[in-house]
Amino acid sequence: MYVGFATDHGGYILKEPLLKAMHNSGHKVRDFGAYKLDPEDDYPDFVIPLARAVAQGEVERGLAICGSGVGACFTANKIAGVRSALIHESFSAHQGVEDDNMNLLCLGGRVIGFALAWEIIQTYLAAHYVKAERFERRLAKVAVIECKE
């Protein structure tokens, strides 16, 4: 899978181990930064380009990591077509894709360690949207709101 990846200083400690694990698992990764540890950087500078790439189909899925995951999540969701969630356990990682067609996963780099982050990412990337009528209906309602706002 072609995955977009972004992190700020708060998630930077997980960046290299996760990039290596994704590459070793056969995923192609587009890195949106940060490219160095800078305690003064701002998550929107990395998350917005990632979210735009997800919304435009330039990458199949996205992964964003900031300190708590909260800022990355609400920033990503400002981009039309992005369905992002802050996830810190495996059930929601697959359920969010299967039921809600989640296309951008956010994690808190200061909240979880590598092993759990990698488990969640593997679960997220392996999940597939179940295009059931009730899921399509719900997503259509969200899309209407997205167009109006």
Predicted confidence band at 147 (pLDDT cuts at 50, 70, 90)? Answer: confident
Total number of domains constituting the chain: 1
- Residue 148: pLDDT above 90? no
Partnered with residue 31 across adjacent β-strands are: 5
Burial class (CB in 10 A: 0-12, 13-18, 19+), 132: exposed
CA distances from 106 to 77, 83, 134, 140, 145 (A): 11, 11, 25, 23, 22
Residue 3 region by backbone torsions, left for phi larger than 0, else alpha for psi between -120 and 50, else beta: beta
Question: What's the rounded mean pLDDT across residues 31-49?
Answer: 97
User: 86 near 59, Cβ under 8 Å?
Assistant: no
- Rounded Cα distance between 17 and 23, Å, is 10
Largest CA distance in the chain: 45
- CATH number of domain containing 92: 3.40.1400.10
User: 77 near 120, Cβ under 8 Å?
Assistant: no
pLDDT per residue as tens digits for the range 85-132: 999 999 999 999 999 999 999 999 999 999 999 999 999 999 999 999
- Rounded Cα distance between 114 and 108, Å, is 11
User: 133 near 139, Cβ under 8 Å?
Assistant: no
pTM attached to this predicted model: 0.95
- Phi and psi at 118, nearest 5°, equal -65, -40
Partnered with residue 6 across adjacent β-strands are: 64
* Active-site residue set: 66
Length of the chain: 149
Domain that holds residue 81: 2-148
